[in-house]
Amino acid sequence: MSARSPTHQTRSHRSGPVPPSLRSNLLVLAALLVLLGLSAGSALIPMGVFNEVANLGIAAMKALLVLVFFMRLKTDSPLLRLVAAAGFAWLALLVALSLADLLSRQNLLPPW
């Protein structure tokens, strides 16, 4: 995979950034596996509500690694980064306004 010849790259129609090297891919893979181990290991340590916090934090880091390196956002154009960010912003809208409901719900007792 890494041994892409220069001719291949010049012939490519892709106008985006140069693909990451094998070394970079392997490093990110290793980081993802370490984070996976941490995620699984954290289940064995009782931290109460912080178990969830830790797991969500680790998941966010994994997602970020995939976005930045595997999906090449680090080296791609600002427009593409904006598009990716918009996807997250919209997801944040969905979560935030749904939580606006969930977190402010009150159990209304029947009037009788």
Partner 1 sequence: MSTAERIAPSYLEEGFSLRSWLGTRDHKRIAILYALGITFFFFLGGLAAALIRLELVTPAGDVLSAETYNKVFTFHGVVMVWFFLIPSIPATLGNFLLPLMIGARDMAFPRLNLFSWYLYIVGGLFTIACLLLGGVDTGWTFYTPFSTMFSNSNVMLAVVGVFVVGFSSIFTGLNFIVTIHTMRAPGMTWFRLPLFVWSMYAVALVMMLATPVLAMTLALIALERLFGVGIFDPALGGDPLLFQHFFWFYSHPAVYIMVLPAMGVVSELITAGVRRRIFGYKFMVWAIVGIAVVGFLVWGHHMFVSGQSMYAGIIFSILSFIIAVPSAIKVFNWTATLYKGDISFTAPLLYALGFVGLFMLGGLTGLFLAATALDVSLTDTYFVVAHFHYIMVGGSVMAYLGGIHYWWPKITGRLYSEAWARFAAILMFFGFNLTFFPQYVLGWEGMPRRYHEYLPQYQVLNVLSSAGATILAVSYLLPLGYLLWSLRHGARAGANPWNAQGLEWTTPSPPTLHNFEETPQVTGGPYAYEQP
Which residues of this protein are in contact with partner 1, per CB under 8 A?
79, 86-87, 90, 93-94, 97-98, 100-106
Nearer to partner 1, 1 or 79 (CB): 79
Nearer to partner 1, 2 or 98 (CB): 98
Find the shortest distance in angstroms from Cβ 22 to partner 1: 30
Nearer to partner 1, 4 or 90 (CB): 90
Find the shortest distance in angstroms from Cβ 9 to partner 1: 21
Task: Answer for the pair 12, 28: CB distance below 8 angstroms, yes or no.
Answer: no
Find the shortest distance in angstroms from Cβ 89 to partner 1: 9
Nearer to partner 1, 1 or 101 (CB): 101
Q: Strand, coil or helix: what is 12?
A: coil
- What angle is formed at CA 98 by the lines to CA 101 and CA 96, rounded to 5 degrees? 110
The CA-atom distances, in angstroms, between 27 and each of 11, 93, 97 are 28, 33, 37
Show the tokens assigned to 26: 């392997």
Q: Tokens 């749904």 label which residue?
A: 98
